[in-house]
Amino acid sequence: EIVMTQSPATLSVSPGERATLSCRASQSVSSNLAWYQQKPGQAPRLLIYGASTRATGIPARFSGSGSGTEFTLTISSLQSEDFAVYYCQQYNNWLFTFGPGTKVDIK
């Protein structure tokens, strides 16, 4: 099983500031890495797939980078609607795993 870890667990950021979230895989997943945003009471929303490709309709302030075992999600200038929990997910095979999540809250 590929274990995903995320850091930090909570990130306190002021609106307009930059947020950098990290995700690490226990073994290489190549670029088979996705990022999701989830707000309370809602299903997750796909942000990034292939480690760096924005999903349809996702604003350019969201960007992903990395490959192998180390990945980063950057939100360049946080908007009020971006305060949420963010999950990474590997899909290197059909045994998916999610990271534990990073909560981005208002500083």
Partner 1 sequence: EVQLVESGGGLVQPGGSLRLSCAASGFTFSSYWMSWVRQAPGKGLEWVANIKQDGSEKYYVDSVKGRFTISRDNAKNSLYLQMNSLRAEDTAVYYCARPAGYVHYWGQGTLVTVSS
User: C-beta of 55: minimal distance to partner 1 in Å?
Assistant: 7
CA pair distance 48, 19, nearest whole angstrom:
15
Please choose, from the candidates 29, 18, 27, the residue with its C-alpha nearest in 3D space to the C-alpha of residue 73. 18
Burial (Cβ within 10 Å: 0-12, 13-18, ≥19) of residue 81: exposed
- Under a CB-based contact definition with an 8 Å cutoff, are residues 89 and 34 in contact? yes
Q: Does 87 bind partner 1 (CB under 8 A)?
A: yes
Q: Which of 36, 62, 71, 83 binds partner 1 (CB under 8 A)?
A: 36
User: C-beta of 44: minimal distance to partner 1 in Å?
Assistant: 6
DSSP helix/strand/coil, 22: strand
Q: What tokens does 9 get?
A: 């667990």
User: C-beta of 104: minimal distance to partner 1 in Å?
Assistant: 14
Q: Which of these segments, 11-19, 20-28, 37-45, 67-75, binds partner 1 (CB under 8 A)? A: 37-45
Q: Does 58 bind partner 1 (CB under 8 A)?
A: no
Q: What tokens does 87 get?
A: 């999950």
Residue (14 or 43) nearer to partner 1, CB? 43
Q: Residues interacting with partner 1, by CB under 8 A? A: 1, 32, 34, 36, 38, 43-44, 46, 49-50, 55, 85, 87, 89, 91, 94-101
